[in-house]
Structure 1
Amino acid sequence: MEPPSDETMAAMRRLAGEVQDELLIAGLPSAGGLHPLVAQGVIVELDVLGDDDAAVSVHWRPHPSLANAAARAAAARDVSAGTMQRLGQVGTAMLPAIAGILSTAGFTLDTDEDIAAGAVRVLAAPDGGGTARLLED
């Protein structure tokens, strides 16, 4: 597979910014750029394997206290721990919510991508931009 072109990379960076803006406007905090020990909220990443498979992936990171408690339970192989269950419940609730926010704003999502894989995959922004364009007036 050929590496992505400069044009594809630039387009995906723009898309990532639009996705980030849309989710911030909806009130979801951004975990991007923060140290993992304090990061919580939405993580938007480029998902570019080539020009024909370019997208943006959106992940949810819960509060570090929950993530760390679940990690300790996993290290202890205590899969029945309440923190492990709660971490799964939060992820199960947040990813469809993120998908709903983006799709109702007109973003094109990869419907072949299973949200259970832990990310929402965004293929394109709406023509003319998302909600941010409505706020420009």
Structure 2
Amino acid sequence: MTATEPEARVPRRGPAPVQGLGMLIGLLFLVLAALELMAGSATGGGRTVLFGVLAVSGVWTLVHLLTGAVAVFCTRSSRWAARFLLVAGVCYAVVGLAGLLPLPAAITDVLPWNTASICLDLALGTAMLILGAGWLRLGPARRR
């Protein structure tokens, strides 16, 4: 190659960074669900507190388990991983915002919230939303 020829772009092989982040978040949710199961949240004993901080229940355990499984499945493609992060980020941000509202007792009995749970939902939702939207915003030429 001479100095006047433009440098050829060699496609980068391997997973995109968004796939790794999606896998990391998926594994985080799966570990969180496993810890909730070990804490006894699926026994139906009502409100359980994980590590003395996070309020969990059987429904939250199921939601975290499904979120982790879907995240791991969606990391097969960078586009799917980014879309998962965007959709899940919106869902968790909305759930976190809903935790700030006065809700009927029927909802708060099934989905227990405390300050730590609301902060975790808002932080995870915002982070996933930013990562997913930022990756989808990039054009195909600028992705790798």
**With structure 2 as the length reference, what TM-score do the two structures score?**
0.28
**With structure 1 as the length reference, what TM-score do the two structures score?**
0.29
- Pick the structure with more strand per residue: 1
- Pick the structure with more helix per residue: 2
